Amino acid sequence: MSAPSGSGEDAADRNVEVWKIKRLIKSLEMARGNGTSMISLIIPPRDQIARISKMLADEYGTASNIKSRVNRLSVLGAITSVQGRLKLYNKVPTNGLVIYCGTIVTDEGKEKKVNIDFEPFKPINTSLYLCDNKFHTEALQALLADDNKFGFIIMDGNGTLFGTLQGNTREVLHKFTVDLPKKHGRGGQSALRFARLRMEKRHNYVRKVAETAVEMFIRNDKVNVAGLILAGSADFKTELGQSDMFDQRLQAKMIKTVDVSYGGENGFNQAIELAADALANVKFIQEKKLIGGYFDEISQDTGKYVFGVNDTLQALDMGAVETLICWENLDITRYRLKNPATGEEKLVHLRPDQEKNKNHFTDPSTGVELELIESLPLLEWLANNYKSFGAALEIVTDRSQEGAQFVRGFGGIGGLLRYRVDFQLADINEGVEDINLDDY
């Protein structure tokens, strides 16, 4: 059984990893076994494989004394499986290691062996070894705590602070002070000159903040925070947010502008409090924005959109999909089938109601029953393969009005395209054989 693995820092990729963990937790929590032969092993980063190997050897010795023969053999078998998985690693991976091994009882009452090992997508700071009649997933649940990183710019007439907030951890990245001239009280020529100097220094200050913001919040041409909060006690923050000097990629990530009574670190703390509601809703807002943009493409009939299983997968094969959008509970299975007579393979994608139709599993011309090579939930297959098509994958819920409409009206799968695709023409071209004029 495959499981989530360590991933890059891109927010969309991380959301895919979160979906994989959620799905894994769901399947592990439903699993039950006879006796205590289901092992949950979690090894934190910087622990030693040698120490865990010795501990397992000791456990094997202890388990050899279990009186019930059936349970003893099951536990010893599970420990042996864990030892086998552990041998695949020379050292504990950067984010730690999670292993689940054991024999579960299926709904049909049959026994089935489960062996899972993976490196989580972020550090798991828990040490656990348990033999039970169920798998323990509490530590995995902790991985799902929302840990989006948000950027803060606290700007006033005395200086600017750049910081980040991730979970409950705040970090000051950089700060600098500024000496802006105060308003000049005298009249005449000097007042105009001072006003001009003031505006020039103010303009240069906003430019410096805009340039520093790029250094702080953009890495490898990508914004490295999920959202941005601008805060301050004067109108500098508004001026920055509306300025042409402020990078458009950062403008697109702005969540909220807040008024604070202080600058510096006190202002940072106050901004975190005032922005709390907006930060809590950021995923919801991003989802509404994504699907809203998708609906805009459809209403404007740009042709740079796709929906439905077949057209979406066809566009994916063509490399035309820039952003693939899927509902988190997409109930479609990908079947790989083979004709035993001809050896020819084909793919079919079916919803639960379509699976009852035997015609999908037989050859239409001969009536031969097709062999099942592989079946996998389509979303799981996409989550494992989307990068090979050059697409980003966004997994959405149906909790927003837009999300519910996407599921009901468009089948819960679609995409934003890099360029216009005429699917009727693509179907025709696919059916046309290459003709060599030299043959005539």
Tens of pLDDT, residue by residue over 183-222, are 655 555 677 777 788 888 989 999 999 999 999 999 888 8
261 plus 220 within the same structural domain: yes
If you average pLDDT over every residue of the chain, what do you get? 85
Answer whether residue 196 is part of any domain: yes
Strand-pair partners of 136 = none
Strand-pair partners of 306 = 415
Distance CA 28, CA 30 (A): 5
Our count of domains for the chain comes to: 3
Q: Is the pLDDT of residue 58 over 50?
A: yes
Q: Name the band, by pLDDT with cuts 50, 70 and 90, for residue 438.
A: very low
Q: Which of 280, 297, 330 is the last residue of a domain?
A: 280
Residues near 155 by Cβ (< 8 Å), separated by ≥ 6? 209, 230, 231, 232, 236, 237, 240, 263
Per the structure, the complete domain to which residue 33 belongs is given by 11-143
Q: In what order do the strands lie in the sheet with 227-232?
A: 169-177, 159-166, 149-156, 227-232, 254-259
pTM (2 decimals)? 0.67
301 plus 272 within the same structural domain: no
Sequence letter at residue 21: I
Distance CA 130, CA 420 (A): 54
Q: Is the pLDDT of residue 424 over 80?
A: no
128 plus 223 within the same structural domain: no
76 plus 124 within the same structural domain: yes
Confidence (pLDDT) at 100: 93
**Position with higher pLDDT, 145 vs 27:** 27
- Give the range among 3-12, 68-77, 227-236 with minimum mean pLDDT: 3-12
In terms of phi and psi (left: phi > 0; alpha: psi -120 to 50; beta: otherwise), the region of 173 is alpha
Strand-pair partners of 113 = 103
pLDDT tens sequence across 358-400: 888 998 888 889 999 999 999 999 999 999 999 999 999 888 8
What is the enclosing helix (H) or strand (E) of 38?
strand 38-43
Confidence (pLDDT) at 433: 40
260 plus 315 within the same structural domain: no
Average pLDDT, integer, range 295-315: 93
Q: Is the pLDDT of residue 45 over 60?
A: yes
Q: Name the band, by pLDDT with cuts 50, 70 and 90, for residue 55.
A: very high
261 plus 349 within the same structural domain: no
